[in-house]
Each structure stands twice: as C-alpha cells, then as structure tokens.
C-alpha cells in the first residue's frame, strides 16, 4: 500500500490462500515466533479466513501479536511428545501454542489409532487461540473420526452459580463420509463464542437475550458489558453447563493442564491466550463391525436432507471455501493494509 492509493473504507480486496499464508507467516516470524510455529499458525489462521470463519481469521492477529509481545507465550517453544501407552500420547507444549504440539504428535497419534482402534492425545502447558475445527477436520479427511475439547479462560457462569468459572470450552467433532466433505462441527459450550462477542462489540451490535451477564451478574445484551467485567452463560442451561464441566475435566484434569480459572495473566499486560490443555480422541472406524462407516455417515446425511434439513454443520464453511479457492479470499482492504504494515520496520 502506498500513499498514492488511499484505502476506501469498506472496500474489499482478494488474496490467494498461499499469499495470505505467506503474509501471515512473515508477520508471525517478525513478531517473535520460530519459522516452524509461524508456518502452523499462518496456515490455521488463513484457513479460518478462507472458510469465512472470521472470528478466528485475521481478526485474531492483533491478539496473537499482543500475547507474543507480552512474553506470556513462547512463540519458539519446541513441544515434547511422550509415548505413554498403546493408546495414549502426551504432549507438553512447553508454554507454546497447542497447534505445534498437535503437529508434533500427530503421526504417532494416527499410528496408535489405526493399530488400537482408538487413541488419545493429551496436550498440556499449551495456549489455544484458534478455532477447534481445523484440529479435527484433517483426521476425517484421512478416514478417521476425531473429537477434541479445549478449555479456555474463566468467562462462563456455571448453570445455577453466581459467578463465572468455566471457559467457553468448545467441543469439535469430525467424521468422514463417502460422497462429500467430512461432517464437522465446532461448538462453544457457552451460549456464544468469545470471538463473536468481540466482533459484535466492534460492530456496535447487540447480543441476543440469554447470552451473557454484566459485571453485576445481571442479564445484558450489550457485548461491551459482557467483555468489561461481565460473563457469558452456557448454552442450553444445565445441559450445556454439564458439558462445559466435562471439557474442564477432559482438557485440563486429564491432560495435566490448567483449569480455565487457574492462570492469571495479570503480570503480562497484553496477554490474550488461555494457558490450559487440550484433549483429542481419534478413532479408526475401519474396525466397525460389518459396515463401511463412510457409507453409513453418508446415509445419515441423506436422511437428514430428506426430513428437510437444508444446511449441515460445516456447509457454509465449505461453500465459502469453494468460493475462496475460485476467486481468492475476500478481505477488508483496510485489514490487509494493516497486516502489511505489521511487516514494516
């Protein structure tokens, strides 16, 4: 961007996936990550942007850079993978991001799942600041079923309690199917994802009722009131709350990671990334008795359409992905300029 081409507010630009990955890679390296970590985070972030998952796309970059600058997370951490048992891989992210730990443990995890039928990866001492579906979708693309949970930071009031304790604690699931993209969903166990509250605040929009409370614990539809001392509610009342509790147990207690309420970034101004744990369970459905799993999941999808369902979980992402692959990823010209400015000395 030069002074000769001022950016019109609201104007959009198109950028190819590889170009966006390259730009993000350069930004991460310049701001303190190793090239290896940069490659993984850039691919993750560009994938979200490509799929229209804006709350986890380039919108996240200022948060990444702020947390790196604060010294709260180690952008050059080299994860340590341990082969614990025939179905159990453990990864210490060494105060780095969770995704490089998954990448480092992935081959061993898949090998164990294919041999034993099921295996888990327990990541601890990790920071997860991205969407969860990119962690599970690739397993389904190679014929495996994957489930992942990650806890985050205290911002959700357990159903029946007075004050927040749980994180947004998402659950992501992916399964292969015969005639199409994998079946994938990624849902926060909070009534709304934290990133979507931030986006609503930025856009000046209100939240739907039942999503959050203000700093006094009173119901509010103001995203700023939620972000400034308020808190979120679990989805689906006591049931979503029970699932959020399960995520704390699986992602933290079972991995050796922190609960969402156990870390404080008070001494690290600018820190943004929850320092917790993550669990992945991977299953090889080729062990299923007498049936081909991918054909069975295809049959379920066929019947879901037959009862009038127009949109499967993940459909909108895949449509946006197809469009992005055809014409490029549509981003705000202003956002792109800001990314490029991050490379300037």
Q: Rule CB under 8 A: which of 37-56 touch a second copy?
A: none
Active site residue 55: yes
Interacting positions 212-251 with a second copy (CB under 8 A): 235-240, 242-243, 245-246, 248-250
Query: Residue 78 Cβ, how far from a second copy at the closest point, in Å?
Result: 17
Q: Could you count the other beta carbons within 10 Å of the beta carbon of residue 274?
A: 26
User: Binding-site residue total for a second copy (CB under 8 A)?
Assistant: 72
With binding defined as CB under 8 A, does residue 318 bind a second copy?
no
Task: Respond yes or no: is residue 297 known to be catalytic.
Answer: no
Query: Does 161 help bind a second copy (rule: CB under 8 A)?
Result: yes
In this structure, the number of other CB atoms found within 10 A of the CB of residue 327 comes to 10
Min. distance of Cβ 258 from a second copy in angstroms?
10
Residue nearer to a second copy on the CB measure, 202 or 239 = 239
Stretch of 53-61, 68-76, 84-92, 196-204 lying at the interface with a second copy (CB under 8 A): 84-92
Residue 64 engages a second copy in binding (rule: CB under 8 A): no
**Residue 309 makes contact with a second copy by CB under 8 A:** yes
Which segment (20-28, 111-119, 325-333, 334-342) binds a second copy by CB under 8 A? Answer: 111-119
Minimum gap (Å) between residue 339 Cβ and a second copy: 32
Of the residues 25, 54, 56, 194, only one is catalytic, namely 56
87-106: which residues touch a second copy (CB under 8 A)? 87-88, 90, 92
Q: Which stretch binds a second copy (CB under 8 A): 9-17, 164-172, 197-205, 316-324?
A: 164-172
Q: Which of 224, 296, 318, 323 binds a second copy (CB under 8 A)?
A: 296
Applying CB under 8 A, among 144, 173, 198, 336 the residue interacting with a second copy is 173
* Residues within window 121-160 making contact with a second copy, judged by CB under 8 A: 122, 124, 145, 157-158, 160
Give the phi and the psi of residue 88 in degrees, each rounded to 5.
Answer: -135, 120
Distance, CA of 195 to CA of 48 (rounded, Å): 13
Q: Does 274 bind a second copy (CB under 8 A)?
A: no
Q: How far is CA 252 from the centre of its chain?
A: 16
Residue 124 or 272: the one with the smaller Cβ distance to a second copy is: 124
8 Å CB contact between 5 and 318: no
Nearest one of 109, 122, 264, 132 to 189, comparing CA atoms: 132
Catalytic hit among 135, 196, 284, 335: 196
Nearest-angstrom CA–CA distance, 58 and 339: 8
Smallest distance from a second copy to CB 73, Å? 19
Interaction residues for a second copy, span 249-268 (CB under 8 A): 249-250, 252-256, 259, 261
In angstroms, give the least distance from the CB of 91 to a second copy.
9
Shorter beta-carbon distance to a second copy: residue 163 or 202: 163
Describe the crossing of helices 98-116 and 133-141 by its angle, rounded to 10 degrees: 30
Residue numbers annotated as active site: 55-56, 196
């Amino acid at each position: 961007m030069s002074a000769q081409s001022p950016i019109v507010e609201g104007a959009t630009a198109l950028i190819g996936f590889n170009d966006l990955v390259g730009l993000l890679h350069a930004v991460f390296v310049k701001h303190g990550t190793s090239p290896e970590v940069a490659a993984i985070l850039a691919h993750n972030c560009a994938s979200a942007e490509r799929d229209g998952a804006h709350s986890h796309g380039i919108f996240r970059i200022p948060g990444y850079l702020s947390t790196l600058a604060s010294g709260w997370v180690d952008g050059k951490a080299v994860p340590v993978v341990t082969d614990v048992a025939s179905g159990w891989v453990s990864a210490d992210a060494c105060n780095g991001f969770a995704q490089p730990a998954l990448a480092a443990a992935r081959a061993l995890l898949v090998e164990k799942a294919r041999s034993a039928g099921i295996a888990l990866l327990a990541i601890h001492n990790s920071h997860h600041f991205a969407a969860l579906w990119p962690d599970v979708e690739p397993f389904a693309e190679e014929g495996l079923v994957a489930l992942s949970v990650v806890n985050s930071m205290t911002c959700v009031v357990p159903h029946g309690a007075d004050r927040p304790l749980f994180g947004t604690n998402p659950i992501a699931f992916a399964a292969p199917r015969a005639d199409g993209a994998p079946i994938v969903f990624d849902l926060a166990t909070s009534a709304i994802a934290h990133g979507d509250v931030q986006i609503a605040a930025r856009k000046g929009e209100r939240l739907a009722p039942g999503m959050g409370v203000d700093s006094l614990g009173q119901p509010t539809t103001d995203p700023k009131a939620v972000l400034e001392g308020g808190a979120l509610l679990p989805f689906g009342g006591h049931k979503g709350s029970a699932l959020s509790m399960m995520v704390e147990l699986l992602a933290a207690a079972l991995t050796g990671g922190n609960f969402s309420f156990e870390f404080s970034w008070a001494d690290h101004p600018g820190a943004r990334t929850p320092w917790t744990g993550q669990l992945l369970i991977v299953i090889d459905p080729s062990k299923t008795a007498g049936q081909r799993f991918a054909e069975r999941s295809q049959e379920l999808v066929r019947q879901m359409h037959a009862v009038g369902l127009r949109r499967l979980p993940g459909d909108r992402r895949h449509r946006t992905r197809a469009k992005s692959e055809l014409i490029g990823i549509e981003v705000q010209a202003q956002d792109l300029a800001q990314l490029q400015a991050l490379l300037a000395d």
